[in-house]
Amino acid sequence: MMKKPELLLPAGTPEALKTAILYGADAVYAGVPSLSLRAKTAFDEGTLADAIKETHGLGKKIYLTLNLFSKNDDVEKLDDFAALIDRLAPDGLIVSDPGVFMFMREKVPHIPLHVSTQANVGSWLTVKFWRDLGAKVCVLSRETSFAETKEIKRLCPDVKIEMFVHGAMCMSYSGRCLLSAFMAGRSANRGKCAHACRWNYKLYLQESERPDEFLPIEEDARGSYILNSRDLCLMPKLNEILAAGIDLLKIEGRNKTPYYVAQTARAYRQAIDDWFENPEAWHYEKYQAELDTLQNRGYTSGFFDGVNTPEMQNYDSTQSTGAWRNAGVIRKWRDDAAEVVIYQKITAGDVLTFLPPKSFAPVDVKIERVIDGFTEREVPALAPGKAGQFILIPKSFFKNVTLDAFPELTVARMPCGLVG
């Protein structure tokens, strides 16, 4: 019987980690600021222990990212980090630097090593190279076509293959970008990407006969976004991926909000489960419709078909857009009401759409009265001015539903037209 792939979600914060697991992730990946490619991660060495203990307590896996390109100063930190890893015992380390790989293999041989997409793994020969060094999982580069992925899977049955199915795309070779460091002095290879590939550029031509005269290249009034990739979304191709038996499916986004984590986990979890239950009746449209509610730059299938087409780029805007926005999250339940932390202005009469973790049917809840959680007084409207600002939603506002379907960390959205 074919085994379900492991659904792997980003955990940039402890809240995102808990949300990912609540909404169906089989595993999460997180990192520490100085030794991974996300300098803004909320985890430090002190909070990793709690994260790993909690994840294992829920029967899930957690991988730590150690995927920087090391400098001499970084090497000095590896001994202490290896000792920490030995104590914490995560389910694996995601590594890109060959030197770091060999160091960790020697220091913590009992911890499985995964080869990061940053290592540019794009052929079966490279997979076998890393396998011979002890790698248990290889994360294929985003430039690898699906035909190549299937061949790699066939020729390397003793290594687990992981591929990205959703998230932002870098305009570089598997994220090895020099543009951010050159333009802004912030190295994307050390977790400080300035997203220079998404800036609005003005381009000029220089003719050999007129070397002192620069001729502007115009696209339209908005400028030229020649490097601005759309976001990867392989939901329309998911049935092919599942049929091929790919081992791990990864969603990008360690800097994303818990709402993004919840919505992507929810859509891909349901889609995977439904395909395994009845592949003949499976259609991607209803899951795609939910992903379309997320703020995005437009979606692309990337290099799935092995070709780079104009549809991969967004020539209109660098901004993420969408019809819905993150509205709030249930922080806890009181005897008579839910405490809901808000991220948008809430006015009496607004409707919040909650996304139950165990159901694919969104639930609308009309906010008949706005009750300030701090003062417990009714107000006409409330904006998220204070840190942790929350409202109280009486249980009676949840009509014709079982309240157990809305545990702590259940997220809610609202149409953009109603925001603010």
pLDDT in tens, 363-410: 999 999 999 999 999 999 999 988 899 999 999 999 999 999 999 999
**Which of 245 and 40 is assigned the larger pLDDT?**
245
- On the question of pLDDT at 124 being above 90, the answer is yes
- 263 exposure class (CB count in 10 Å sphere: 0-12, 13-18, 19+): buried
221-225, 322-326, 402-406, range with greatest mean pLDDT: 402-406
Q: What is the 3-state secondary structure (H, E, C) of the chain?
A: CCCCCEEEEECCCHHHHHHHHHCCCCEEEEECHHHCCCCCCCCCHHHHHHHHHHHHHCCCEEEEEECCCCCHHHHHHHHHHHHHHHHHCCCEEEECCHHHHHHHHHHCCCCCEEECHHHCECCHHHHHHHHHHCCCEEEECCCCCHHHHHHHHHHCCCCEEEEEEEECCCCCECCECCHHHHHHCCCHHHCCCCCHHHCCECEEEEECCEEEEEEEECCCCCCECCCCECEEECHHHHHHHHHCCCCEEEECCCCCCHHHHHHHHHHHHHHHHHHHHCHHHCCCHHHHHHHCCCCECCEECCCCCCCCCHHHECCCCCCCECCEEEEEEEEEECCCEEEEEECCCEECCCEEEEECCCCCCCEEEECCCEEECCCCCEECEECCCCCCCEEEEEHHHCCCCCHHHCCCCCEEEEEHHHCC
User: Which of 81-85, 135-139, 363-367 shows the lowest per-residue confidence on average (mean pLDDT)?
Assistant: 81-85
* Domain 6-169+229-312 sits in CATH 3.20.20.70: yes
pLDDT in tens, 246-282: 999 999 988 889 999 999 999 999 999 999 999 999 9
pLDDT of residue 418: 45
pLDDT in tens, 182-203: 567 676 655 667 777 667 766 6
The pTM score is: 0.86
pLDDT of residue 281: 97
User: Which of 14-18, 189-193, 410-414 shows the lowest per-residue confidence on average (mean pLDDT)?
Assistant: 189-193
- Tell me how far CA of residue 259 lies from CA of 37, 71, 74, 115, 293, in angstroms: 22, 35, 33, 28, 11
- On the question of pLDDT at 320 being above 90, the answer is no
- On the question of pLDDT at 34 being above 70, the answer is no
pLDDT of residue 37: 53
Closest CA to 35 of 8, 62, 74: 74
User: Which of 55-64, 66-75, 266-275 shows the lowest per-residue confidence on average (mean pLDDT)?
Assistant: 66-75
pLDDT of residue 212: 76
- On the question of pLDDT at 314 being above 50, the answer is yes
pLDDT of residue 38: 53
- On the question of pLDDT at 181 being above 60, the answer is no
* Domain 324-418 sits in CATH 2.40.30.10: yes
In this prediction, residue 332 has a pLDDT band, given cuts at 50, 70 and 90, of very high
Average pLDDT for 28-54: 77
- On the question of pLDDT at 419 being above 70, the answer is no
pLDDT of residue 352: 98
- On the question of pLDDT at 7 being above 80, the answer is yes
pLDDT of residue 68: 82
Per domain, the residue ranges of the chain are 6-169+229-312, 324-418
In this prediction, residue 67 has a pLDDT band, given cuts at 50, 70 and 90, of confident
Q: How far apart are CA 371 and CA 397, in angstroms?
A: 12
Residue 216, phi then psi, degrees to nearest 5:
-70, 145
Question: Counting every residue, how long is the chain?
Answer: 420
pLDDT of residue 319: 63
Work out the percent of the chain whose per-residue pLDDT is above 90.
66
Average pLDDT for 286-301: 92
- On the question of pLDDT at 45 being above 60, the answer is yes
Helix 124-133 to helix 146-155 angle (10° resolution) is: 40
Work out the percent of the chain whose per-residue pLDDT is above 70.
82
Closest CA to 74 of 66, 62, 85, 84: 66
pLDDT of residue 167: 92
Place of tokens 């992730």: 25
- Tell me how far CA of residue 385 lies from CA of 106, 150, 346, 382, in angstroms: 50, 50, 12, 8
Average pLDDT, the chain: 88
Q: How far apart are CA 347 and CA 341, in angstroms?
A: 14
In this prediction, residue 211 has a pLDDT band, given cuts at 50, 70 and 90, of confident
332 contact partners, CB below 8 Å, separation of at least 6: 338, 339, 408
In this prediction, residue 46 has a pLDDT band, given cuts at 50, 70 and 90, of confident
